[in-house]
Structure 1
Amino acid sequence: MKATFAPVPGEGRRVALGVDDVGDAELAAMVADLWGTDGVHLVESGAEPVAYDVPSILTGARSWVRGRADAGDGPREFTFFVKRVHHWRHSPAFASVPPEIAEWAAASVPWRAEPLVYTSDLADRLPVGLSMPRALRVEERDDQTAVLWLEAVAADPVEWSAADSARAARLLGRLAASARVAPLAAIDPQPWHVRGFVAGRLAHTVLPGLADEATWRHPAVREHFGDLRLDLEAVVADLDRLADEFAAARHLTAHGDACPNNLLRREGDQGFTLIDFGFWRPQPVGFDLSQLLVGDIQVGRQDADDLPERAAACVEAYAAGLADEGLVVPLEEVRRGHAVSLMLFNGLPSLPLEMLQEEADLAGQGGVDDDFRARLDHRARQRAGIARYALDVLARTDP
Structure 2
Amino acid sequence: MIDAAELAVPSLLRQDLPAVVDAALGRRGMVVIRAQAHSIIQPGANMTTGGLWRIQGTAQQAGPANAAEPVPFSVIAKLTQSPLLWPGIQAVPPEFRGQLAERYPWRTEAQAYAAGVSTALPFNARMPEAFRITELDAQRILIWLEDVDDDGAQGWSDEQFAEAAFVLGGLAGSPDVDACVTAVPDATTSRRLEFFLEGVGTQLLIPAIMDDDVWRHPVVAGAADPAVISGLRSLAGRAPDLVNVLVALPQFPMHGDASPQNLLAGASNVGDEAFILIDWGNFGRGPAGFDLAQLLAGRVNDGDMPGSDLVRLAPLCVDAYCNGMAEAGTEPDASSVARGHAAAMAVFTGLSALPLDQLAAPRPGLEDVVAGRLDMVRFILGRLDALGL
Normalising by structure 2, report the TM-score. 0.89
Aligned to 1:205: 204
SS at match of 1:315: helix
Deviates more, 1:126-135 or 1:226-235: 226-235
Aligned to 1:272: 275
The CA deviation at 1:143 is 4.2
Question: How far apart, CA to CA, are the structure 2 residues paired with 1:320 and 1:348?
Answer: 29
Deviates more, 1:57-66 or 1:266-275: 266-275
The CA deviation at 1:170 is 0.3
SS at match of 1:238: helix
Question: How far apart, CA to CA, are the structure 2 residues paired with 1:294 and 1:191?
Answer: 20
Cα offsets for 1:117-152 (capped at 9, x unmatched) = 122212221110001111111112334111111121
The CA deviation at 1:103 is 2.9
Aligned to 2:123: 128
Question: How far apart, CA to CA, are the structure 2 residues paired with 1:33 and 1:174?
Answer: 30
Matches within 5 A, 1:9-158: 9-10=3-4, 13-18=6-11, 20-23=12-15, 26-50=16-40, 55-71=45-61, 74-155=69-150
Aligned to 1:175: 171
Report if aligned partners of 1:249, 1:284 keep a CA contact under 8 Å in 2. Answer: yes
Task: Indicate whether 1:340 and 2:352 are aligned.
Answer: no
Question: How far apart, CA to CA, are the structure 1 residues paired with 2:61 and 2:9?
Answer: 26
Aligned to 1:261: 261
Report if aligned partners of 1:84, 1:148 keep a CA contact under 8 Å in 2. Answer: yes
RMSD: 2.4
Which letter maps to 1:241? D
Q: Relative to structure 1, is the Cα distance of residues 143 and 53 closer, same or farther in structure 2, using a 3 angstrom cutoff?
A: closer
The CA deviation at 1:62 is 1.4
Report if aligned partners of 1:16, 1:49 keep a CA contact under 8 Å in 2. Answer: no
Q: Relative to structure 1, is the Cα distance of residues 330 and 54 closer, same or farther in structure 2, using a 3 angstrom cutoff?
A: farther
Report if aligned partners of 2:56, 2:72 keep a CA contact under 8 Å in 1. Answer: yes
Aligned to 2:300: 297
Q: Which of 299, 314, 334 is the aligned partner of 1:331?
A: 334
Question: How far apart, CA to CA, are the structure 1 residues paired with 2:106 and 2:243?
Answer: 22
Question: How far apart, CA to CA, are the structure 2 residues paired with 1:314 and 1:52?
Answer: 33
SS at match of 2:290: coil
Report sequence identity in percent.
30
Which letter maps to 1:237? G
Q: Relative to structure 1, is the Cα distance of residues 229 and 98 closer, same or farther in structure 2, using a 3 angstrom cutoff?
A: farther
Normalising by structure 1, report the TM-score. 0.87
Report if aligned partners of 2:75, 2:145 keep a CA contact under 8 Å in 1. Answer: yes
SS at match of 2:137: coil
Question: How far apart, CA to CA, are the structure 1 residues paired with 2:340 and 2:93?
Answer: 32
Report if aligned partners of 2:83, 2:100 keep a CA contact under 8 Å in 1. Answer: no
Q: Relative to structure 1, is the Cα distance of residues 141 and 38 closer, same or farther in structure 2, using a 3 angstrom cutoff?
A: closer
Report if aligned partners of 1:110, 1:188 keep a CA contact under 8 Å in 2. Answer: no
Q: Which runs of 5+ in 2 are unaligned?
A: 63-67
Report if aligned partners of 1:17, 1:63 keep a CA contact under 8 Å in 2. Answer: no
Aligned to 1:225: 224
Question: How far apart, CA to CA, are the structure 2 residues paired with 1:124 and 1:398?
Answer: 39
